[in-house]
Amino acid sequence: MAGLKQVQRQTGVALWRQIADRIREAISNGAYDETGMVPPETVLALQFGVNRHTVRSALAALAQEGIVRAVQGRGTLIERKERLNFPITRRTRFTAGIGDQARETRGLLLDEAKEEASAEIARWLGLKPGEEVIRLETLRQADKRPVSRATSWFPAKRFAGIGKAYRTGESITKAFAELGLPDYVRATTEVTAAHASAVDMADLELTPGAILLIAKAMNTDLEGVPVQYSISRFAADRVQFTIEN
C-alpha cells in the first residue's frame, strides 16, 4: 500500500483532489469501517507520499461535501457513506428499485417542454423527426440526497399532461398509470460514464472531476411500442447498477 504510487504529479489534476477522490472511494468501499474514522493525516501523507498539508486540503474538500468531519485531538470521522444499488431488469423502476435502501424517495420536475423530436429521439421513440414530444427534466432524491438527473422524452400525442401527472405523483410509473398505461417494460439500456457537466454538477451537488454513470434507456408498452426515452445521470460514487440475466 505504502510503496504504491497512487497519485501522479503534473497531470492537470491537483494532488489534493486525487487524494480526496481516493479517500472518498475507500470510504464508499468500507475500507475504514472498523474504526469509523479516516487514518491520521500524518499516516495518509506517508501513504500517498505527499506533505501533510496536501492531505489536509483533500480532507477539507471531503468535509465540504459532508463526507467526513475533523475533530481536533480525536481524528477525522466518517459522516456519510452510501452506495445505492439499482437493479436493471425488464421491469426497471426507480422508486421500486431503491426499495428499502432509502426511507424516502422523491422525484422533482425541474422543467417541462413540448418540442419537435430530433433525429435521435425520433429514432428511439419510433416517430418521424419533427413530430411532437414532451421533454421532462427530473431530479430524483433518496433521503433528501440527490441521486440522479434525468432527461426524458415522451410522444406528445399519447402522453399529453404527463408533466402535471409526474409533478403530483413524483414518479414516471404513477404518471403513466394516471394516463392509462398501467404497465411498461425496459427494452434497452446503454451505460456509459463521463465527467459531470456544470449543470449536472450543481443539481447533483457534485464537485468538479466527479464521475457520472449515464444510463440511456428506452421503455415500451406491453405491445413493444416505445413510450419513453431517457438519459439519466447518476453520481457514480453513490450508486451501482445490477444487471440480472
Partner DNA sequence: TTAAAATGTCTATTGATATAGACAACCATA
Partner DNA sequence: TATGGTTGTCTATATCAATAGACATTTTAA
Rounded CA separation 158/227 (Å)? 9
Residue 61 interacting entry, from DNA, a second copy, none, C-beta within 5 to 8 Å by type: a second copy
Tell me if 198 contacts a second copy by CB under 8 A.
Answer: yes
Rounded CA separation 165/171 (Å)? 8
Scanning residues 41 to 60, which ones bind DNA (CB under 7 A)?
A: 41-43, 49-51, 53-54, 56-57, 59
Scanning residues 216 to 245, which ones bind a second copy (CB under 8 A)?
A: 236-237, 239-245
Tell me if 160 contacts DNA by CB under 7 A.
Answer: no
* Count, residues in the chain: 245
Tell me phi and psi for residue 104, to 5 degrees: -130, 125
Whichever of 70 and 179 has its CB closer to DNA, that residue is 70
Whichever of 13 and 113 has its CB closer to a second copy, that residue is 13
The x, y and z cell numbers of residue 28, run together, are: 464508499
Q: In this structure, what DSSP letter does residue 40 have?
A: P
Tell me if 104 contacts a second copy by CB under 8 A.
Answer: no
Rounded CA separation 5/164 (Å)? 53
Element (H, E) at 192: strand 185-195
- Pick the binder of DNA from 15, 217, 218, 236 (CB under 7 A): 15
Tell me if 50 contacts a second copy by CB under 8 A.
Answer: no
Smallest distance from DNA to CB 195, Å: 15
Q: What count of other Cβ atoms lies within 10 Å of the Cβ of residue 102?
A: 17
- Pick the binder of a second copy from 33, 115, 183, 190 (CB under 8 A): 190
Q: What is the DSSP string of 94-129?
A: HHHHHGGG-S-EEEEEEEEEEEEPPHHHHHHHT--T
Footprint of a second copy on this chain (CB under 8 A)?
A: 4-8, 11-14, 16-18, 20-22, 25, 57, 61, 88-90, 92, 185-195, 197-199, 201, 207-209, 211-213, 236-237, 239-245
